[in-house]
Amino acid sequence: MNNLIATSIKYQDDQLLVLDQYQLPHRETWLPCDSVESMVAMIRKLQIRGAPLIGIGASLLLARLAEQGVGPAQLESAAATLREARPTAVNLMNCLDRMLAALRSDGPAALPATAERIFHEDIELCQRMAEHGAELIAPGSRILTHCNTGSLATAGVGTAIGVIGEAQRQDKGIHVYVDETRPLLQGGRLTSWEMRRLGVPYTLICDNMAAMLMAQGKVDCVLVGADRIAANGDFANKVGTYSLAVNARYHGVPFYLVAPYTTVDPHCPDGSAIPIEQRAADEVRGVGGSFGEVVWSPEDAPVYNPAFDVTPAGLVTGWILDTGVLTTDDVAGGALTALR
């Protein structure tokens, strides 16, 4: 396979390397990934994360295994194990389906080229979303975003952060409010890191400050990513997205989601059919990362920890996709199902 270089994943000199997002922003450590077990462990620990990137990582690993001579039956079983690593982000399933289709029609030799196509396609999709989205950003906009949707979550410039980066490149004089994104702090750790790298002026806030900022008239729009979009336009994204959408509607703030066609699941009729990952209680009882680990609640505190929530289509102003921006009427007319 040819060398492939992105911000948070590399295929270089026959080695798959993942930037350890658990250690960011304080340490930039690249971890080799050479087995299904290590990829699954990295996905579960969110060392590699973001809906598009986990699909790309899983595909590159399968391609590497095929290059090492692993046979069709073992590749099928590797794909089945990888598929279970995170249930909500449909990009993982879509990428694995593409790899398996290539395996079944042309054998293991077809996997490297298929994985390379998936990688390069994601870069292009990100660029297109960024351009469509930037058209909606008025000069001087104050944008609120949640979780991390940038070059750490994709092979390219990202989804919502791709739009932010493009608006910055076009000198629109934007300012970004970054939700810290409890419980795993992808906003505080990762989006802040990306804003600095992009040179975008930003302010980090706790998630529960967003409504107050909106009430003060300090937010012009909300941009978020998605892990799975149902046929009717409902979508799952990092927990906390739904509260932002409710708050945005109440305050009359436009609320956009930004995602590639690979995040659309035409088999999910609506948000109630999206599987929601439940995660370990300790993530809510405390926090861990390059700064160490701390538990602040009683060690046996009962916890509810869904990783994602579902935002109903009725709260979305527009779906910014690689193909353009869909309106509520487009989505009600079946535009999302027509994409796949």
Residues in touch with ligand MRU (CB under 6 A): 46, 49-52, 89, 147, 149, 153-154, 158-159, 186, 225-227, 237-238, 307
- The contacts of residue 190 (CB under 8 Å, 6+ apart) are 21, 24, 25, 148, 150, 152
User: Which residue, judged by CB position, is nearest to ligand MRU in the bound state?
Assistant: 225
Cα–Cα distance for residue pair 330/335, rounded to 1 Å: 5
Nearest residue (CB) to ligand MRU, 65 versus 311: 311
Shortest Cβ 11–ligand MRU spacing (Å): 20
Nearest residue (CB) to ligand MRU, 59 versus 159: 159
Nearest residue (CB) to ligand MRU, 63 versus 244: 244
Token pair of 40, please?
Answer: 């699954």
Q: Tokens 């750790």, residue? A: 189
Shortest Cβ 32–ligand MRU spacing (Å): 21
Shortest Cβ 149–ligand MRU spacing (Å): 4
Exposure of 266 in the CB half-sphere (CA atoms within 13 A):
9
Provide the CA 244 distance to its chain's centre, in angstroms.
17
Nearest residue (CB) to ligand MRU, 23 versus 74: 23
Please give the single-letter amino acid code of residue 132: H
Shortest Cβ 103–ligand MRU spacing (Å): 26
Shortest Cβ 150–ligand MRU spacing (Å): 7
Indicate if 14 belongs to the active site: no
- Options 20, 179, 207, 227, the catalytic residue: 227
Cα–Cα distance for residue pair 132/89, rounded to 1 Å: 23
Contact 244, 316 (CB under 8 A): no
Which segments of 107-239 does DSSP mark as H helices, in order?
Answer: 111-134, 160-169, 186, 192-198, 210-215
Phi, psi torsion values for 326, nearest 5 degrees: -95, 140
How much is the CA Rg of the chain, to the nearest whole Å? Answer: 19
Cα–Cα distance for residue pair 109/295, rounded to 1 Å: 48
Phi, psi torsion values for 319, nearest 5 degrees: -105, 105
Nearest residue (CB) to ligand MRU, 52 versus 108: 52
Task: Say whether the peptide bond before residue 183 is cis (omega within 30 degrees of 0).
Answer: yes
Q: Tokens 């971890």, residue? A: 31
Nearest residue (CB) to ligand MRU, 114 versus 263: 263
Shortest Cβ 286–ligand MRU spacing (Å): 18
* Residue 94, phi-psi category: left (phi > 0), alpha (psi -120 to 50), beta (remainder): alpha
Which active-site residues does the annotation give? 227
